[in-house]
Each structure stands twice: as C-alpha cells, then as structure tokens.
Amino acid sequence: MSTSQPAETLDAVIVGAGLAGLYMLHKLRALGLSARVFEAGSGIGGTWFWNRYPGARVDIESVQYSYAFDEKLQDEWRWSERYATQAELLRYVDHVADRFDLRRDIVLNTRVESAHYDEARDEYAVRTSRGDALRARFFIMAVGCLSSTNTPKFPGLESFRGAKYHTGNWPQTPPDFTGKRVAVIGTGSSAIQSIPLIAEQAAHLTVFQRTPNYSVPAHNGPMPREVEERVRANYAAFRAEAAQRGFGADFRDNPATAFSVSDAEREAEYEARWAYGGLGFLGAYADLMFDAKANETAAEFLRSKIRSIVKDPATAELLCPKTPVGCKRLCVDTGYYATYNRPNVTLVSVKDAPIERITLNGLVTGGREYEVDCIVFATGFDAMTGSLVRVDIRGRGGRSLREKWEAGPTTYLGVATEGFPNYFMITGPGSPSVLSNMLPSIEHHVNWIARCIDDLRKRGAKRIDARKDAEDAWVVHVNEVAHTSLYPNCNSWYLGSNVPGKPRVFMPYLGVPPYRAKCEEVRRNGYEGFAIT
C-alpha cells in the first residue's frame, strides 16, 4: 500500500491470535467496536500453535485451563485428558474461533512491525509486514509471555549440516528422529516434556544440561469423568475459589507451614502430592516459596525421588538441582527422570564447561566434540518483554518502548506503560501472568481493558495514559512483593537471566488476589493512577 493512500481506521488493532487476542477481539466486538487481529503465524493459537514439540501439553489441569467467559462454551467442550495435549488445545482454540465467528477479523502470516502514536489524533499509525497501514485509537499487544524464542548465539551455529529445531518454533510436519543421533540443549519445561518421547525414537539422545530442574510427575491419563462432573456441577464457584489462591489455580493449598508438623507428617504430605502429581506439589505448605528452610524440605524430598528413580548415581547427582524448588518454574513430566535409565540416553553437564561452538557435525563442550544428526534447542524464550519490544512501538514525543525499557520493563499494573496512551498489554510484565494460571489471568486483563475502553467511551474521553508516579510506585511494589519470596534467589527467565545482556528485573507480580483487588480499586476510583483526557 502506498503511503499516499488514506489509511483504514479501526477502533483497535490487536497483535497476536492466541488465547488473549481471540478473547480481546470477541470483547471489543461485543462493545460494537471495530478491531482487527494480526498474527505472525500461519494459524491461530499462539503458544499452542508454535510449541508443537513431542509431548507438549499444558501443565495446569485442563478443567482449570479453559475459558470461563461463556457458559455454553464451557458446557459443550469436553477435555479428553487430565492435561490436554498441544493438539487438543489447538482444536479448542479453533472451536472457539469458529463458535464466535472470529476468523473474519484475523489476518494471518502478518507481523505488526510498528505502531506510532499520533498525538494530534490520539491514534496509533500501525504498519505490518504485508505493507498494511492502519490507524487505530487503541493498540493492544496480546503476544503472550513466552513467544520470542531464545537461541543462544553459539559460534558456528550456521555451520551445522544436520537439522536444527527450536521447541518454541517446531515444524508443522513433525520431524522423525528414528535412527538419528539427537542433541537436546536445555532442561527446562519444554525439554523435560519432549526428552522422553525423543528418546523413544532416536538412536541416541544426548542431553546438554546447564542447570537441572525439579520436575514432578503429571500422572496424566484420560480425564476422570467423576472429577470433570464434580467441577462442572459448580464451575463458577470452582473458578471463583481458584481466583482466591495465590497462583489463581486450585493447587489444593494447605494453609499450614512446613515446620508446624512432624517430619513424618511432612514426608507423608509430599508423598501424597507426588502420587497425585502436578504443580499442586508446591501447595503442600504455605511457606514453601517464602522460607528457605521450609523450601529445602521439599527440595530434598524431590532430590531423593530423583536418586531413587535414576539408576546411575553420577547421573542422578547431576540431575539434582541445588536451588530452591519453584524458584525456576517447577516442571511437570511423564517419565522424565526414568528416561536417563535408557541405554540410548546420555546426560552431559555444560555447567562448568559451556558449549564452546557448533561444528559441521555436532557441538563441542569440555574440549570434546559430540557428533549428532539433529540439534533440538530447548533453550526457552526472551520471556515477557521479547515480543513486546520486537515491535517498534512509539508513544508520546516519538519515544520508543524499546528505549524506555532498556534497563528493564516498567508498567502500571502490567497493563499499561506511561507515555504510551491507549496502549494496552495483556498479561504484561508487572502482572501475575506467568506466576498464575495464564488463562484466567488473560480473561481478567481482557475484561479490565474492555471495561476501561467502554468507560472512556461513556465519558467521551479520547486518551488514557498511566501516570509516572503511579507507575514508579507500582514498579517498587512489584519488587517489594517479589523480595518477600524466594523467587528472585535463582537465575530464571522470571528475572531475564536466561538471555545474556538482559537487565535483571523480576517481571511477574506475585499474588493473584491482591493484584485483582488492586485493579478493581483502580477502576472503582475512576482509573486512579491514570491521566484521562
């Protein structure tokens, strides 16, 4: 489109057709607004579109990881497994898009490249990779927290003659590892889910581990119908109750503290939670993420499990994390540790001998070359900010978001950032996002944003911008809360420490109930902390 043509004007442009973007579109339409979603992928689904690696599935039980906004949708959808696979989640997303006729306002295969705020018109001038030029009063990033993949810049990366894959950008046609020598780099959640399945196919699998992670068994299986029926019988109350929990999910939280019970009772509690499976392991005691000694009891329990499963003591020791449990996101697996008992699987620690380079035939660490046919990068994401600053977003005075956030993201409530009027982020840094059940957090943000836009319209207001003092106070508060916990005590993507050079700032907000209360209070007080004109 040439720049001389008048740009199409919409009420809102939304970036990303994942669970957040789809619901945002639905809500804005319900307000009678015009909105369009741009999506870089060739299909909708966001996380569930891109992360197709073997074993990819949600780590929160599906009855909790689903939209709550429409009762009929909730009633008609049935999950086949306790933890849905990526493929089933994608079917769910497709079903939602069809059911609410969302596709006609979604443009695929198109990246939004820039969004520049025009102060004279209170609009964003938006440009896409296809050459579209649009104008929109509201610009909404619904790009997800884990969508900008991180591939370490190993020397020689391009020289490798075999196939390279990233778990977060997996090919649509699944690669066949049969008879292949495969390297997996990384041992985060994506690696832990995929390694058992890759090992079943590959001739040999070598896992390159920098930091071991804790993992608890999923004990996945067909959705127990009695569980589903129990939840469904009172779904609204079940969800409301979960929203009162710290992570916004039902982890069967125990209000007791770890040392308020005997050693034997504590051990029995951990055993019961291990047997049940899933992230609820961390709900065993209220102080596990706040008291290092309490945490160590859970950590040691998990280490003892690793030692009991993995037969080779040296491998078991390498797999035992030394950091607090939960400080990096706890993983949920199916047969991860037992995979190291297979004769075709080798674990190589790159903690003290980092990967030096990639070669024509493999990779070099500790002065030794490991020859492989394929490399799987399970090396995670430039989390929470990567996809936001990848777009050239400019606010008042042409100020760029990328520059504003050079020393780390600053937001008000994780939904807005000062100097960028009418710009919203769904589950942005400074909101519970990745420290919560993502889907209810997405719905909460979308509802809040939609209501805000509607309130502005009713007031006849054209512009809303976070105030600097409110943003500064929020940033301090997010940090203070984080530092009451053990979360900032280890290198994790919550802190940005997985990406070299990224500022070390704790990004998510810890605590769903106080966060939601604050958002509600801000709204009730006429959007306190925002300037509205």
| Tokens 């008048």 found at | 6
In what side-by-side order are the strands of the sheet with 374-377?
Answer: 163-166, 374-377, 181-185, 204-209, 345-349
Contact yes or no for 463/532 (Cβ under 8 A): yes
CB burial readout 183-200, b (16+ within 10 A) else e: bbbbbbbbbbbbbbbbbe
Binding mask 157-196 for ligand NA7 (x = CB under 6 A): ----------xx----------------xxxxxxx-----
To ligand NA7, the closest distance from the beta carbon of 255 in angstroms equals: 26
Among the listed ranges 68-76, 233-241, 375-383, 514-522, the one in contact with ligand NA7 (CB under 6 A) is 375-383
Residue 430 binds to ligand NA7 (criterion: CB under 6 A): no
Complex with ligand NA7: residue 53 or 412, whichever CB lies closer? 53
By beta-carbon proximity to ligand NA7, the closer residue of 151 and 400 is: 151
| Count of residues touching ligand NA7 (by CB under 6 A) | 21
Q: For the CB of residue 288, give the shortest distance to ligand NA7 in the complex, in Å.
A: 18
Is the CB of 86 or the CB of 379 nearer to ligand NA7?
A: 379
Q: How far is CA 107 from CA 6, 116, 188, 392, in A?
A: 20, 20, 32, 19
Site for ligand NA7 in 141-160 (CB under 6 A): 146, 152
Side chain identity at residue 142, one-letter code: A
Q: Where are the beta strands (DSSP E) in 269-359?
A: 331-333, 345-349, 355-358
Cα-Cα-Cα-Cα dihedral sign, residues 449, 455, 461, 466: negative
- The footprint of ligand NA7 on residues 477-506 (CB under 6 A) is 493, 498
Q: Cβ(258)–Cβ(267) under 8 Å?
A: no
Provide the b/e sequence for 63-96 (b: ≥16 CB within 10 Å): bbbbbbeeeebbeeeebebbbbbbebbbbbbeeb
Cβ 14 vs Cβ 37: under 8 Å: yes
- Binding segment for ligand NA7 among 27-35, 252-260, 290-298, 376-384 (CB under 6 A)? 376-384
Residue among 333 and 373 whose Cβ is closer to ligand NA7:
333
Residue 128 binds ligand NA7 (CB under 6 A): no
**Is residue 379 within 8 Å of residue 164, measured between CB atoms?**
no
User: Stretches 85-93, 169-177, 378-386, 514-522: which one binds ligand NA7 (CB under 6 A)?
Assistant: 378-386
Residues 316 and 66: their CA atoms lie apart, in Å, by 36
Q: Which of 218, 321, 338, 289 is nearest to 489 (CA)?
A: 289
Q: What secondary structure letter does DSSP report for 389?
A: H
Q: Candidates 19-27, 309-317, 373-381, 441-449: pick the segment binding ligand NA7 (CB under 6 A).
A: 373-381
Task: Show contacts with ligand NA7 in window 75-94 (CB under 6 A).
Answer: none
For ligand NA7, the closer of residues 187 and 206 by Cβ is 187
- Residue 378 in the binding site for ligand NA7 (CB under 6 A): yes
Pattern of binders to ligand NA7 over 333-362, x per CB under 6 A?
Answer: -----------------x----x-------
Q: Give the residue nearest to ligand NA7 (CB).
A: 188
Give contact residues for ligand NA7 (rule: CB under 6 A): 146, 152, 167-168, 185-191, 210-211, 329, 350, 355, 378-380, 493, 498
